[in-house]
Structure 1
Amino acid sequence: MNTKELQYFMKVCEEQSINKAAGKLFITQQGLSRVIANLEKNLNVKLLERNARGVFPTEEGQYLYEKCEKLICMLDEIEAGMKQMANRRKRLTIGYACGVMHAFSFQLIQKYKSEHREMEITCEEFLNQELIDKITQSEIDVGFIIGKNSSGELVKEQLTERQMVILVYPGHPFYEKDGIYIRELENEPLIMLGERSFLYYEFQRMCRQCGFEPQIVVKTMESAMTRKLCREHVGIGLDVDFELEETALEGIRKIPIMDHLTWVVQMAYRNDSRNFSNIKEFAAYIEQNM
Protein backbone atom coordinates (compact mmCIF):
# COMPACT_ATOMS: atom_id res chain seq x y z
CA MET A 1 0.00 0.00 0.00
CA ASN A 2 1.40 3.37 -1.01
CA THR A 3 0.18 6.96 -1.22
CA LYS A 4 -0.56 6.65 -4.94
CA GLU A 5 -2.92 3.70 -4.39
CA LEU A 6 -4.67 5.52 -1.55
CA GLN A 7 -5.09 8.68 -3.62
CA TYR A 8 -6.58 6.65 -6.48
CA PHE A 9 -8.97 4.89 -4.08
CA MET A 10 -10.09 8.23 -2.60
CA LYS A 11 -10.77 9.65 -6.06
CA VAL A 12 -12.98 6.65 -6.97
CA CYS A 13 -14.98 7.11 -3.74
CA GLU A 14 -15.43 10.82 -4.42
CA GLU A 15 -16.42 10.40 -8.07
CA GLN A 16 -18.50 7.24 -7.39
CA SER A 17 -17.25 6.04 -10.77
CA ILE A 18 -14.15 4.20 -11.98
CA ASN A 19 -14.48 5.83 -15.40
CA LYS A 20 -14.77 9.43 -14.10
CA ALA A 21 -11.98 8.91 -11.57
CA ALA A 22 -9.69 7.47 -14.26
CA GLY A 23 -10.31 10.52 -16.44
CA LYS A 24 -9.38 12.93 -13.66
CA LEU A 25 -6.30 10.88 -12.76
CA PHE A 26 -5.23 10.68 -16.42
CA ILE A 27 -4.98 6.88 -16.45
CA THR A 28 -7.01 4.18 -18.19
CA GLN A 29 -10.08 2.64 -16.61
CA GLN A 30 -8.39 -0.77 -16.73
CA GLY A 31 -5.27 0.60 -15.04
CA LEU A 32 -7.30 2.14 -12.21
CA SER A 33 -9.28 -1.07 -11.75
CA ARG A 34 -5.99 -2.99 -11.38
CA VAL A 35 -4.80 -0.54 -8.70
CA ILE A 36 -8.02 -0.98 -6.69
CA ALA A 37 -7.89 -4.77 -7.12
CA ASN A 38 -4.28 -4.81 -5.90
CA LEU A 39 -5.21 -2.68 -2.87
CA GLU A 40 -8.07 -5.06 -2.01
CA LYS A 41 -5.74 -8.03 -2.37
CA ASN A 42 -3.10 -6.53 -0.07
CA LEU A 43 -5.69 -5.63 2.59
CA ASN A 44 -7.62 -8.88 2.06
CA VAL A 45 -10.97 -7.04 2.06
CA LYS A 46 -13.51 -5.82 -0.50
CA LEU A 47 -13.36 -2.03 -0.61
CA LEU A 48 -15.90 -1.12 -3.30
CA GLU A 49 -19.36 -2.24 -4.36
CA ARG A 50 -20.94 -1.54 -7.74
CA ASN A 51 -24.64 -1.02 -8.44
CA ALA A 52 -26.79 0.81 -10.96
CA ARG A 53 -26.10 4.18 -9.33
CA GLY A 54 -22.32 3.84 -9.39
CA VAL A 55 -19.42 2.69 -7.21
CA PHE A 56 -19.59 3.02 -3.43
CA PRO A 57 -17.28 2.02 -0.55
CA THR A 58 -18.10 -1.02 1.56
CA GLU A 59 -18.00 -0.71 5.36
CA GLU A 60 -14.28 -1.51 5.22
CA GLY A 61 -13.85 0.87 2.28
CA GLN A 62 -15.55 3.70 4.17
CA TYR A 63 -13.26 3.09 7.14
CA LEU A 64 -10.20 3.25 4.87
CA TYR A 65 -11.50 6.38 3.13
CA GLU A 66 -11.90 8.19 6.45
CA LYS A 67 -8.32 7.30 7.41
CA CYS A 68 -6.79 7.95 3.99
CA GLU A 69 -6.01 11.64 4.39
CA LYS A 70 -4.09 11.10 7.63
CA LEU A 71 -2.36 8.04 6.18
CA ILE A 72 -1.26 9.92 3.07
CA CYS A 73 0.05 12.84 5.14
CA MET A 74 1.91 10.44 7.43
CA LEU A 75 3.44 8.47 4.55
CA ASP A 76 4.43 11.69 2.75
CA GLU A 77 5.99 12.99 5.97
CA ILE A 78 7.95 9.76 6.45
CA GLU A 79 9.16 9.83 2.84
CA ALA A 80 10.18 13.50 3.10
CA GLY A 81 11.90 12.83 6.42
CA MET A 82 13.90 9.94 5.00
CA LYS A 83 15.00 12.06 2.04
CA GLN A 84 15.93 14.90 4.38
CA MET A 85 18.03 12.55 6.52
CA ALA A 86 19.81 11.26 3.43
CA ASN A 87 20.48 14.82 2.28
CA ARG A 88 21.76 15.81 5.72
CA ARG A 89 24.62 13.36 5.38
CA LYS A 90 25.74 15.29 2.30
CA ARG A 91 25.52 18.84 3.66
CA LEU A 92 26.13 20.95 6.76
CA THR A 93 25.06 24.57 7.28
CA ILE A 94 27.08 26.47 9.87
CA GLY A 95 26.19 29.87 11.30
CA TYR A 96 28.18 32.14 13.58
CA ALA A 97 27.15 35.27 15.46
CA CYS A 98 28.88 38.58 14.79
CA GLY A 99 32.17 38.70 16.66
CA VAL A 100 32.40 34.97 17.41
CA MET A 101 35.38 34.43 15.14
CA HIS A 102 37.49 36.52 17.53
CA ALA A 103 37.24 33.56 19.92
CA PHE A 104 38.72 30.88 17.66
CA SER A 105 40.28 30.56 14.26
CA PHE A 106 38.10 30.11 11.20
CA GLN A 107 40.86 27.78 10.00
CA LEU A 108 39.33 25.18 12.31
CA ILE A 109 36.21 25.07 10.12
CA GLN A 110 38.28 25.28 6.93
CA LYS A 111 40.27 22.24 8.03
CA TYR A 112 37.05 20.29 8.65
CA LYS A 113 35.80 21.25 5.18
CA SER A 114 39.02 20.05 3.57
CA GLU A 115 38.72 16.70 5.38
CA HIS A 116 35.07 16.25 4.29
CA ARG A 117 35.08 17.21 0.62
CA GLU A 118 32.18 14.84 0.00
CA MET A 119 29.94 17.20 2.01
CA GLU A 120 28.51 20.55 0.98
CA ILE A 121 29.49 22.78 3.91
CA THR A 122 28.38 26.42 4.00
CA CYS A 123 29.13 29.14 6.58
CA GLU A 124 27.36 32.45 7.17
CA GLU A 125 27.43 35.25 9.75
CA PHE A 126 24.24 36.47 11.47
CA LEU A 127 23.08 38.71 14.27
CA ASN A 128 23.02 36.64 17.45
CA GLN A 129 19.22 36.42 17.91
CA GLU A 130 18.71 35.90 14.18
CA LEU A 131 21.08 32.93 14.32
CA ILE A 132 19.31 31.41 17.34
CA ASP A 133 15.99 31.69 15.46
CA LYS A 134 17.45 30.04 12.36
CA ILE A 135 18.82 27.11 14.38
CA THR A 136 15.46 26.70 16.14
CA GLN A 137 13.66 26.73 12.77
CA SER A 138 16.12 24.15 11.31
CA GLU A 139 17.44 26.63 8.73
CA ILE A 140 20.95 26.30 10.21
CA ASP A 141 22.34 22.95 11.38
CA VAL A 142 24.98 24.17 13.85
CA GLY A 143 25.56 27.68 15.15
CA PHE A 144 28.13 29.45 17.30
CA ILE A 145 26.09 31.80 19.47
CA ILE A 146 26.95 34.36 22.14
CA GLY A 147 25.43 34.25 25.61
CA LYS A 148 23.84 31.50 27.67
CA ASN A 149 20.66 30.89 25.70
CA SER A 150 17.93 29.20 27.75
CA SER A 151 15.89 27.61 24.92
CA GLY A 152 14.98 24.02 25.76
CA GLU A 153 14.81 23.18 22.04
CA LEU A 154 18.57 23.56 21.64
CA VAL A 155 21.60 21.63 22.79
CA LYS A 156 24.22 24.15 23.97
CA GLU A 157 27.87 23.36 24.58
CA GLN A 158 30.04 26.13 26.00
CA LEU A 159 33.28 26.62 24.07
CA THR A 160 34.82 29.67 25.72
CA GLU A 161 34.13 32.47 28.20
CA ARG A 162 35.92 35.82 28.18
CA GLN A 163 35.88 38.68 30.67
CA MET A 164 34.65 42.14 29.67
CA VAL A 165 37.09 45.03 30.02
CA ILE A 166 37.10 48.82 29.98
CA LEU A 167 39.69 50.48 27.71
CA VAL A 168 41.11 53.65 29.26
CA TYR A 169 43.57 56.26 27.98
CA PRO A 170 46.34 57.84 30.12
CA GLY A 171 45.16 60.73 32.28
CA HIS A 172 41.65 59.37 32.74
CA PRO A 173 40.63 59.00 36.43
CA PHE A 174 40.14 55.23 35.90
CA TYR A 175 43.59 54.67 34.37
CA GLU A 176 45.31 53.39 37.53
CA LYS A 177 42.39 51.27 38.76
CA ASP A 178 42.68 47.47 38.98
CA GLY A 179 38.97 46.89 38.39
CA ILE A 180 35.78 48.81 37.61
CA TYR A 181 32.15 48.20 38.56
CA ILE A 182 29.39 49.01 36.08
CA ARG A 183 27.81 51.54 38.46
CA GLU A 184 31.02 53.63 38.16
CA LEU A 185 30.37 54.09 34.43
CA GLU A 186 27.32 56.32 34.90
CA ASN A 187 27.74 59.57 32.90
CA GLU A 188 30.98 58.28 31.32
CA PRO A 189 31.17 58.74 27.50
CA LEU A 190 31.42 55.18 26.14
CA ILE A 191 32.61 53.66 22.88
CA MET A 192 31.46 50.13 22.08
CA LEU A 193 30.29 47.73 19.41
CA GLY A 194 26.82 48.58 18.11
CA GLU A 195 23.54 46.77 17.53
CA ARG A 196 25.12 43.85 15.67
CA SER A 197 26.84 42.84 18.90
CA PHE A 198 25.35 40.79 21.75
CA LEU A 199 27.47 42.93 24.11
CA TYR A 200 25.54 46.08 23.15
CA TYR A 201 22.26 44.74 24.55
CA GLU A 202 23.68 42.85 27.52
CA PHE A 203 25.68 45.85 28.76
CA GLN A 204 22.66 48.18 28.53
CA ARG A 205 20.56 45.64 30.43
CA MET A 206 23.09 45.55 33.28
CA CYS A 207 23.36 49.35 33.37
CA ARG A 208 19.59 49.60 33.77
CA GLN A 209 19.77 47.12 36.62
CA CYS A 210 22.17 49.58 38.25
CA GLY A 211 19.65 52.39 37.73
CA PHE A 212 21.06 54.37 34.80
CA GLU A 213 21.18 54.55 31.00
CA PRO A 214 24.71 54.28 29.57
CA GLN A 215 26.04 57.30 27.68
CA ILE A 216 27.16 55.62 24.44
CA VAL A 217 28.76 58.33 22.30
CA VAL A 218 30.03 56.10 19.46
CA LYS A 219 28.85 52.68 18.26
CA THR A 220 31.51 50.88 16.22
CA MET A 221 31.54 47.91 13.85
CA GLU A 222 34.80 46.42 15.13
CA SER A 223 36.99 46.38 18.22
CA ALA A 224 39.93 48.01 16.42
CA MET A 225 37.87 51.18 15.95
CA THR A 226 36.86 51.14 19.63
CA ARG A 227 40.56 51.11 20.58
CA LYS A 228 41.43 53.85 18.07
CA LEU A 229 38.74 56.24 19.34
CA CYS A 230 39.76 55.54 22.92
CA ARG A 231 43.35 56.58 22.09
CA GLU A 232 41.91 59.80 20.66
CA HIS A 233 40.15 60.49 24.00
CA VAL A 234 36.66 60.36 22.44
CA GLY A 235 35.59 58.26 25.42
CA ILE A 236 36.47 55.06 27.23
CA GLY A 237 35.95 51.78 25.43
CA LEU A 238 34.05 48.64 26.33
CA ASP A 239 35.23 45.38 24.79
CA VAL A 240 35.83 41.67 25.24
CA ASP A 241 39.20 40.67 26.72
CA PHE A 242 40.60 38.99 23.64
CA GLU A 243 44.21 37.89 23.54
CA LEU A 244 45.70 40.86 21.71
CA GLU A 245 49.27 41.69 20.86
CA GLU A 246 50.81 44.48 22.93
CA THR A 247 50.86 46.78 19.89
CA ALA A 248 47.06 46.59 19.68
CA LEU A 249 46.81 48.06 23.20
CA GLU A 250 49.49 50.70 22.70
CA GLY A 251 48.43 53.99 24.31
CA ILE A 252 45.52 52.50 26.27
CA ARG A 253 45.04 50.20 29.23
CA LYS A 254 42.45 47.46 29.71
CA ILE A 255 40.79 47.19 33.11
CA PRO A 256 38.51 44.25 34.03
CA ILE A 257 34.84 44.83 34.81
CA MET A 258 34.24 43.37 38.27
CA ASP A 259 30.52 42.65 37.75
CA HIS A 260 29.62 39.27 36.27
CA LEU A 261 29.52 40.45 32.67
CA THR A 262 31.17 37.86 30.46
CA TRP A 263 31.23 37.02 26.78
CA VAL A 264 30.28 33.35 26.38
CA VAL A 265 30.43 31.42 23.11
CA GLN A 266 28.31 28.30 22.78
CA MET A 267 27.90 25.77 20.01
CA ALA A 268 24.18 25.14 19.50
CA TYR A 269 21.98 22.77 17.50
CA ARG A 270 18.47 21.39 17.77
CA ASN A 271 17.77 18.69 20.36
CA ASP A 272 16.04 16.50 17.80
CA SER A 273 19.05 16.61 15.46
CA ARG A 274 21.74 15.72 18.00
CA ASN A 275 22.09 12.19 16.57
CA PHE A 276 22.27 13.24 12.91
CA SER A 277 25.65 12.01 11.71
CA ASN A 278 26.71 15.29 10.07
CA ILE A 279 26.00 17.32 13.21
CA LYS A 280 27.30 14.71 15.64
CA GLU A 281 30.64 14.39 13.83
CA PHE A 282 31.15 18.15 13.45
CA ALA A 283 30.27 18.84 17.11
CA ALA A 284 32.75 16.17 18.26
CA TYR A 285 35.45 17.67 16.01
CA ILE A 286 34.96 21.18 17.45
CA GLU A 287 35.01 19.91 21.05
CA GLN A 288 38.23 17.98 20.45
CA ASN A 289 40.02 20.89 18.79
CA MET A 290 38.94 23.87 20.90
Structure 2
Amino acid sequence: MNTRNFKCFQTVYEERNLQVAASKLFMSPQGLSKLIKGLEEECGTTLFSRTKDGFIPTESGKVFYEKSKIITKDLNEMFSAIEAVNDREKRFRMGFAAGTIRAINIPAVNDFMKSNPEIVASWDEQENGTVLKRVLNDEINCGLVVGKPEATGLVTKLIKSVEIVLYVYKGHRLWDCDHVNIRDIKDEQLISMGEKYRIYHDVVNACHMNSFNPEIIARVGDGVTLHSLVKNKIGIGICPRFFEDDEDIKSVAINDAYTWDVYGIYMENSPDAGLAKRFLQEM
Protein backbone atom coordinates (compact mmCIF):
# COMPACT_ATOMS: atom_id res chain seq x y z
CA MET A 1 0.00 0.00 0.00
CA ASN A 2 1.38 3.45 -0.90
CA THR A 3 0.38 7.12 -0.93
CA ARG A 4 -0.75 6.84 -4.55
CA ASN A 5 -3.26 4.16 -3.55
CA PHE A 6 -4.50 6.39 -0.73
CA LYS A 7 -5.03 9.27 -3.15
CA CYS A 8 -6.93 7.05 -5.57
CA PHE A 9 -9.16 5.71 -2.81
CA GLN A 10 -9.81 9.20 -1.43
CA THR A 11 -10.81 10.51 -4.85
CA VAL A 12 -13.30 7.69 -5.41
CA TYR A 13 -14.64 8.24 -1.89
CA GLU A 14 -15.13 11.97 -2.48
CA GLU A 15 -16.60 11.66 -5.98
CA ARG A 16 -18.74 8.56 -5.40
CA ASN A 17 -18.28 7.96 -9.13
CA LEU A 18 -15.57 5.76 -10.64
CA GLN A 19 -15.61 7.45 -14.06
CA VAL A 20 -15.29 10.96 -12.63
CA ALA A 21 -12.60 9.90 -10.18
CA ALA A 22 -10.63 8.15 -12.92
CA SER A 23 -10.75 11.30 -15.07
CA LYS A 24 -9.41 13.43 -12.22
CA LEU A 25 -6.61 10.94 -11.63
CA PHE A 26 -5.77 10.60 -15.35
CA MET A 27 -6.45 6.87 -15.12
CA SER A 28 -8.74 4.45 -16.91
CA PRO A 29 -11.85 3.37 -14.98
CA GLN A 30 -10.72 -0.23 -15.38
CA GLY A 31 -7.33 0.51 -13.85
CA LEU A 32 -8.85 2.43 -10.96
CA SER A 33 -11.41 -0.30 -10.30
CA LYS A 34 -8.63 -2.88 -10.15
CA LEU A 35 -6.68 -0.71 -7.70
CA ILE A 36 -9.69 -0.32 -5.39
CA LYS A 37 -10.31 -4.06 -5.56
CA GLY A 38 -6.69 -4.65 -4.59
CA LEU A 39 -7.06 -2.35 -1.58
CA GLU A 40 -10.13 -4.25 -0.45
CA GLU A 41 -8.30 -7.56 -0.72
CA GLU A 42 -5.35 -6.15 1.22
CA CYS A 43 -7.66 -4.82 3.95
CA GLY A 44 -9.78 -7.97 3.98
CA THR A 45 -13.01 -6.02 3.74
CA THR A 46 -15.31 -4.24 1.28
CA LEU A 47 -14.65 -0.49 1.17
CA PHE A 48 -17.42 0.44 -1.31
CA SER A 49 -20.84 -0.83 -2.21
CA ARG A 50 -21.23 -0.76 -6.00
CA THR A 51 -24.72 0.55 -6.74
CA LYS A 52 -26.55 2.19 -9.61
CA ASP A 53 -25.98 5.48 -7.80
CA GLY A 54 -22.22 5.00 -7.73
CA PHE A 55 -19.59 3.84 -5.26
CA ILE A 56 -21.09 4.18 -1.76
CA PRO A 57 -18.59 3.89 1.13
CA THR A 58 -19.15 1.13 3.64
CA GLU A 59 -18.49 1.70 7.34
CA SER A 60 -15.04 0.19 6.79
CA GLY A 61 -14.57 2.55 3.86
CA LYS A 62 -15.40 5.54 6.05
CA VAL A 63 -12.83 4.48 8.64
CA PHE A 64 -10.24 3.85 5.92
CA TYR A 65 -10.88 7.31 4.46
CA GLU A 66 -10.46 9.17 7.75
CA LYS A 67 -7.30 7.28 8.72
CA SER A 68 -5.80 7.50 5.23
CA LYS A 69 -6.21 11.29 5.27
CA ILE A 70 -4.22 11.50 8.50
CA ILE A 71 -1.50 9.21 7.15
CA THR A 72 -1.32 11.18 3.88
CA LYS A 73 -1.01 14.48 5.77
CA ASP A 74 1.78 13.09 7.96
CA LEU A 75 3.65 11.70 4.95
CA ASN A 76 3.34 14.99 3.06
CA GLU A 77 4.69 16.88 6.06
CA MET A 78 7.57 14.42 6.34
CA PHE A 79 8.53 14.80 2.68
CA SER A 80 8.25 18.60 2.93
CA ALA A 81 10.55 18.60 5.96
CA ILE A 82 13.09 16.42 4.16
CA GLU A 83 12.94 18.71 1.11
CA ALA A 84 13.45 21.77 3.32
CA VAL A 85 16.55 20.19 4.87
CA ASN A 86 17.92 19.40 1.43
CA ASP A 87 17.29 22.97 0.29
CA ARG A 88 19.11 24.37 3.30
CA GLU A 89 22.11 22.31 2.36
CA LYS A 90 22.14 24.14 -0.98
CA ARG A 91 23.54 27.42 0.22
CA PHE A 92 23.15 29.61 -2.88
CA ARG A 93 19.71 31.12 -3.45
CA MET A 94 18.47 33.54 -6.09
CA GLY A 95 15.51 35.87 -6.43
CA PHE A 96 13.85 37.49 -9.44
CA ALA A 97 11.80 40.67 -9.37
CA ALA A 98 8.62 40.48 -11.44
CA GLY A 99 9.42 40.68 -15.15
CA THR A 100 13.19 40.33 -14.86
CA ILE A 101 13.35 36.73 -16.06
CA ARG A 102 12.53 38.15 -19.48
CA ALA A 103 15.82 40.06 -19.41
CA ILE A 104 18.17 37.13 -18.98
CA ASN A 105 19.68 34.46 -21.18
CA ILE A 106 17.46 31.66 -19.86
CA PRO A 107 19.27 28.67 -21.48
CA ALA A 108 22.66 29.90 -20.23
CA VAL A 109 21.36 30.53 -16.73
CA ASN A 110 19.64 27.14 -16.64
CA ASP A 111 22.88 25.44 -17.65
CA PHE A 112 24.73 27.41 -14.97
CA MET A 113 22.24 26.25 -12.32
CA LYS A 114 22.57 22.63 -13.36
CA SER A 115 26.38 22.77 -13.36
CA ASN A 116 26.46 24.24 -9.84
CA PRO A 117 24.57 21.86 -7.51
CA GLU A 118 24.87 24.27 -4.58
CA ILE A 119 22.35 26.57 -6.30
CA VAL A 120 18.71 26.31 -5.30
CA ALA A 121 17.08 26.37 -8.73
CA SER A 122 13.89 28.42 -8.41
CA TRP A 123 12.30 30.65 -11.04
CA ASP A 124 9.75 32.30 -8.77
CA GLU A 125 9.16 36.03 -9.27
CA GLN A 126 8.47 38.43 -6.40
CA GLU A 127 7.96 42.15 -5.97
CA ASN A 128 10.99 44.35 -6.58
CA GLY A 129 11.28 45.55 -2.98
CA THR A 130 10.96 42.02 -1.64
CA VAL A 131 13.93 40.75 -3.66
CA LEU A 132 16.10 43.70 -2.57
CA LYS A 133 15.14 43.23 1.08
CA ARG A 134 15.92 39.50 0.92
CA VAL A 135 19.38 40.15 -0.53
CA LEU A 136 20.13 42.79 2.13
CA ASN A 137 18.92 40.44 4.88
CA ASP A 138 21.05 37.57 3.52
CA GLU A 139 17.96 35.44 2.84
CA ILE A 140 19.08 35.03 -0.77
CA ASN A 141 22.56 35.39 -2.24
CA CYS A 142 21.78 37.06 -5.54
CA GLY A 143 18.83 38.88 -7.04
CA LEU A 144 17.55 40.60 -10.16
CA VAL A 145 15.73 43.88 -9.61
CA VAL A 146 14.41 46.75 -11.73
CA GLY A 147 16.26 50.02 -11.12
CA LYS A 148 19.63 50.50 -9.46
CA PRO A 149 19.35 50.20 -5.68
CA GLU A 150 21.80 51.84 -3.29
CA ALA A 151 22.88 50.22 -0.04
CA THR A 152 26.12 49.82 1.88
CA GLY A 153 28.01 46.76 0.72
CA LEU A 154 25.61 46.06 -2.13
CA VAL A 155 27.20 45.22 -5.50
CA THR A 156 25.13 46.07 -8.58
CA LYS A 157 25.60 45.08 -12.22
CA LEU A 158 23.49 46.35 -15.11
CA ILE A 159 22.08 43.33 -16.96
CA LYS A 160 19.78 44.91 -19.51
CA SER A 161 18.37 48.33 -20.38
CA VAL A 162 15.13 48.61 -22.38
CA GLU A 163 13.24 51.70 -23.53
CA ILE A 164 9.75 52.29 -22.10
CA VAL A 165 7.26 52.86 -24.95
CA LEU A 166 3.59 53.29 -25.68
CA TYR A 167 2.03 50.53 -27.79
CA VAL A 168 -0.85 51.75 -29.97
CA TYR A 169 -3.08 49.97 -32.45
CA LYS A 170 -3.65 50.93 -36.07
CA GLY A 171 -6.30 53.60 -36.40
CA HIS A 172 -5.67 55.09 -32.98
CA ARG A 173 -5.24 58.87 -32.91
CA LEU A 174 -1.59 58.44 -31.84
CA TRP A 175 -0.77 55.94 -34.60
CA ASP A 176 1.05 58.47 -36.76
CA CYS A 177 3.10 59.92 -33.88
CA ASP A 178 6.81 59.19 -33.59
CA HIS A 179 6.85 60.26 -29.96
CA VAL A 180 4.43 61.52 -27.31
CA ASN A 181 4.47 63.25 -23.94
CA ILE A 182 3.02 61.55 -20.90
CA ARG A 183 0.20 64.09 -20.77
CA ASP A 184 -0.91 62.97 -24.26
CA ILE A 185 -2.38 59.84 -22.67
CA LYS A 186 -4.52 61.77 -20.17
CA ASP A 187 -7.87 60.73 -21.66
CA GLU A 188 -6.78 57.31 -22.94
CA GLN A 189 -7.76 53.89 -21.70
CA LEU A 190 -4.48 52.34 -20.63
CA ILE A 191 -3.26 48.78 -20.30
CA SER A 192 -0.42 48.42 -17.81
CA MET A 193 1.62 45.75 -16.12
CA GLY A 194 0.16 44.76 -12.75
CA GLU A 195 0.80 46.42 -9.42
CA LYS A 196 3.59 44.03 -8.45
CA TYR A 197 5.66 45.50 -11.30
CA ARG A 198 7.64 48.65 -10.62
CA ILE A 199 6.66 50.11 -14.00
CA TYR A 200 3.01 50.30 -12.92
CA HIS A 201 3.85 52.60 -10.02
CA ASP A 202 6.24 54.66 -12.15
CA VAL A 203 3.54 55.26 -14.77
CA VAL A 204 0.98 56.28 -12.14
CA ASN A 205 3.46 58.62 -10.49
CA ALA A 206 4.39 60.19 -13.83
CA CYS A 207 0.73 60.86 -14.57
CA HIS A 208 0.21 62.40 -11.14
CA MET A 209 3.22 64.65 -11.75
CA ASN A 210 1.38 65.87 -14.84
CA SER A 211 -1.78 66.57 -12.83
CA PHE A 212 -4.04 63.70 -13.90
CA ASN A 213 -5.02 60.20 -12.85
CA PRO A 214 -4.46 57.58 -15.55
CA GLU A 215 -7.47 55.52 -16.64
CA ILE A 216 -5.97 52.06 -16.30
CA ILE A 217 -8.55 49.57 -17.54
CA ALA A 218 -6.36 46.46 -17.41
CA ARG A 219 -3.47 45.36 -15.21
CA VAL A 220 -1.76 42.32 -16.68
CA GLY A 221 0.88 39.88 -15.56
CA ASP A 222 2.96 39.68 -18.73
CA GLY A 223 3.82 41.63 -21.85
CA VAL A 224 2.25 39.09 -24.20
CA THR A 225 -1.18 39.67 -22.66
CA LEU A 226 -0.69 43.44 -22.86
CA HIS A 227 0.26 43.16 -26.53
CA SER A 228 -2.80 40.98 -27.24
CA LEU A 229 -5.18 43.44 -25.57
CA VAL A 230 -3.74 46.33 -27.54
CA LYS A 231 -4.01 44.33 -30.76
CA ASN A 232 -7.69 43.81 -30.03
CA LYS A 233 -8.12 47.55 -29.46
CA ILE A 234 -9.04 47.26 -25.80
CA GLY A 235 -6.73 50.17 -25.08
CA ILE A 236 -3.15 51.35 -25.51
CA GLY A 237 -0.34 49.88 -23.45
CA ILE A 238 2.78 51.05 -21.67
CA CYS A 239 5.63 48.62 -21.14
CA PRO A 240 9.28 48.05 -22.09
CA ARG A 241 9.96 47.70 -25.83
CA PHE A 242 9.71 43.92 -25.94
CA PHE A 243 7.88 43.53 -29.26
CA GLU A 244 8.59 44.34 -32.89
CA ASP A 245 6.23 46.69 -34.71
CA ASP A 246 3.83 45.14 -37.21
CA GLU A 247 0.95 46.28 -39.38
CA ASP A 248 -1.48 46.28 -36.44
CA ILE A 249 0.60 47.58 -33.52
CA LYS A 250 3.46 50.03 -33.27
CA SER A 251 5.59 51.36 -30.44
CA VAL A 252 5.70 55.11 -29.87
CA ALA A 253 8.53 56.69 -27.91
CA ILE A 254 7.60 58.61 -24.77
CA ASN A 255 9.49 61.88 -24.25
CA ASP A 256 11.59 61.94 -21.11
CA ALA A 257 10.69 58.34 -20.29
CA TYR A 258 13.24 56.41 -18.30
CA THR A 259 14.62 53.06 -19.38
CA TRP A 260 13.65 49.74 -17.84
CA ASP A 261 16.95 48.75 -16.25
CA VAL A 262 17.50 45.30 -14.79
CA TYR A 263 20.31 44.99 -12.26
CA GLY A 264 21.89 41.95 -10.70
CA ILE A 265 22.65 42.49 -7.02
CA TYR A 266 24.54 40.73 -4.23
CA MET A 267 26.36 41.63 -1.03
CA GLU A 268 30.10 42.02 -1.41
CA ASN A 269 30.76 40.33 1.95
CA SER A 270 28.66 37.29 1.11
CA PRO A 271 30.55 33.97 1.32
CA ASP A 272 29.22 33.23 -2.15
CA ALA A 273 29.97 36.62 -3.73
CA GLY A 274 32.25 34.91 -6.24
CA LEU A 275 29.48 32.57 -7.37
CA ALA A 276 27.04 35.48 -7.58
CA LYS A 277 29.50 37.39 -9.77
CA ARG A 278 29.91 34.42 -12.11
CA PHE A 279 26.15 33.91 -12.21
CA LEU A 280 25.55 37.50 -13.33
CA GLN A 281 28.21 37.17 -16.01
CA GLU A 282 26.15 34.36 -17.58
CA MET A 283 23.34 36.82 -18.29
Which residue identity does 1:190 align to in structure 2?
L
Q: Return the offset for 1:103.
A: 1.1
Q: Deviations over 1:149-192 (max 9, x none)?
A: 23335221111110011111111111011111112111211001
Q: Are residues 185 and 245 of structure 1, via their aligned partners in 2, closer, same or farther at CA, if it must alter by over 3 Å?
A: closer
- 2:279 is equivalent to residue 280 of structure 1: no
Segments of 4+ in structure 1 off by > 3 A?
A: 87-90
* Equivalent position amino acid for 2:120 in 1: I
Cα deviation 1:16-61 (Å, max 9, x = unaligned)? xxxxxxxxxxxxxxxxxxxxxxxxxxxxxxxxxxxxxxxxxxxxxx
Q: 1:194 to 1:120 in 2, by over 3 A?
A: closer
Which SS does the other structure have where 2:218 is aligned?
Answer: strand
For 1:142-221, list aligned pairs within 5 A: 142-221=142-221
Alignment of 1:25-174 (within 5 A): 91-117=91-117, 119-123=118-122, 124-174=124-174
Matches within 5 A, 1:186-265: 186-242=186-242, 244=243, 249=246, 251-265=248-262
Question: Alpha carbons of 1:169 and 1:103: their partners in 2 closer, same or farther (altered >3 Å)?
Answer: same
Where do 5+ consecutive residues of structure 1 fail to align?
1-86
Q: Deviations over 1:93-127 (max 9, x none)?
A: 0101111111123222211122223x242323211
For the 8 Å contact 2:179–2:253, the answer to whether it is kept is: yes
**Consecutive unaligned residues in structure 2, runs of 5 or more:** 1-86
Give TM-score scaled by structure 1 length: 0.62
CA distance in structure 2 between the aligned counterparts of 1:128 and 1:175, rounded to whole angstroms: 33
Number of equivalent positions: 196
Pairwise CA RMSD: 2.2
TM-score by length of 2: 0.64
Seen in structure 2, the aligned counterparts of structure 1 residues 163 and 106 have a Cα distance that, compared at 3 Å, is same
For 2:231 and 2:125, locate their aligned partners in 1 and report how far apart those are by CA, in whole Å: 29
Look up the equivalent residue of 1:268 and give its one-letter code: I
Alpha-carbon deviation of 1:88?
A: 9.7
Q: Secondary structure at the match of 2:269?
A: helix
Question: Aligned letter for 1:283?
Answer: K
State how far apart, in whole Å, the 1-side matches of 2:151 and 2:205 are. Answer: 19
Decide whether the 8 Å contact of 2:131 with 2:143 is kept in 1: yes
Contact 1:92 1:279 in 2 (8 A): no
